[in-house]
Structure 1
Amino acid sequence: MTDSASMKAARLLALGVPALLLGGAYISQFGFGLYPCEMCWWQRYPHFAALGFGLAALFVPPVRLWLALAALAILASGAIGGFHAGVEYGWWQGITDCALVAGGDGGDALKAVFDAPLTRCDQAPWDLFGVSLAGWNFLVSTFAGLLILFLLAKRHTA
């Protein structure tokens, strides 16, 4: 893979991975009623930052810096996801009581609180092959973040 191909791949990953993971999170939330808990939100914030860094890499030099920052933000989300997955699997306790009331449509606030489902951080609302959404975020984000860093480092070794 040439240097320009490595940079293209790094750009694609820096934009594509957070966009797809955030898209999946919002589809699961609004399409399937899997409301996020507090730690789920924590995982989203670094992906928003990664999207910003990835977009900056398209327009503002130095490109490598923005892509490296995007990779680090993606890795941060993966680390939070790994911690959250451990809480869900009962490997350790969370650092908060970590339960959010889902919903909040702007109507009667008290009614919304009493009628909304409680979203707990220590219970995975969904899994695939025994891996929760937080676990999948850990796996995908960690792999993608490391791959972006590898692609950026590749130029210096060639």
Structure 2
Amino acid sequence: MTLSRNHLILLLTGFSVSMILGAWVFQYVFGYPPCKLCYYQRYPHWAAAGFGILALLFGGVLLPYLAGLSAAVTGAIGIYHSGVERKLWDGPATCTSGNIGGLSTDELFDQIMSAPMIRCDEIPWEMFGLTMANLNALFSLGAALIWIFAARQKT
């Protein structure tokens, strides 16, 4: 059974919507509030879903490629976030601990008091050694490849 271009686009649009819904379930049902990088991973899913809906409504070649680019962007953010979680590189100063060496007591206190409650460099949940950022990166980069495949299919 071969899926048509529109079926692939529908499935991929559903994928991005389900990733957002899944994030909301973790946030609102299971009580895992997102960090800044978690939010940044959601925005391209919204874009991919929007481009997918537009592609279903109006056809064309460009929209599936834009959806694929959006999926690739959220996958890249997921890779970046994964590295921050694993302490491979520093994350944004607004959501990681950063270097506190050389700070006075008052400066350290001010940094603690102005720090966000949810840090990007901590892993709140993982399954089989994979974090939510890892899973988003893997699934989204796979989806990006399928978007490209769908874009190349004849209508």
- TM-score normalised per structure 1: 0.78
**Where does structure 1 lack aligned partners over 5 or more consecutive residues?**
100-113
Q: Which residue of 1 aligns with 2:82?
A: 85
CA shift for structure 1 position 17: 1.3
Amino acid at match of 1:86: G
SS at the partner of 2:20?
A: helix
The one of 8, 11, 14 aligned to 1:13: 11
After superposition, residues 1-158 of structure 1 pair within 5 angstroms as 5-62=3-60, 64-98=61-95, 118-155=117-154
Q: Is the 8 A contact 1:71 1:145 kept in 2?
A: yes
CA shift for structure 1 position 97: 2.7
Q: Is the 8 A contact 2:6 2:56 kept in 1?
A: no
Q: Is the 8 A contact 1:10 1:67 kept in 2?
A: no
Q: CA RMSD in A?
A: 1.9
CA shift for structure 1 position 61: 3.5
- TM-score normalised per structure 2: 0.80
Task: State, as a whole percentage, how many aligned pairs show the same letter.
Answer: 41
In 2, Cα distance between the equivalents of 1:123 and 1:88?
A: 5
Amino acid at match of 1:33: G
Which ranges of 4 or more aligned residues in structure 1 deviate by more than 2 Å?
150-155
Amino acid at match of 1:88: E
Q: Mark the CA change 1:154 to 1:52 in structure 2 (over 3 Å): closer, same or farther.
A: closer
SS at the partner of 2:118?
A: strand
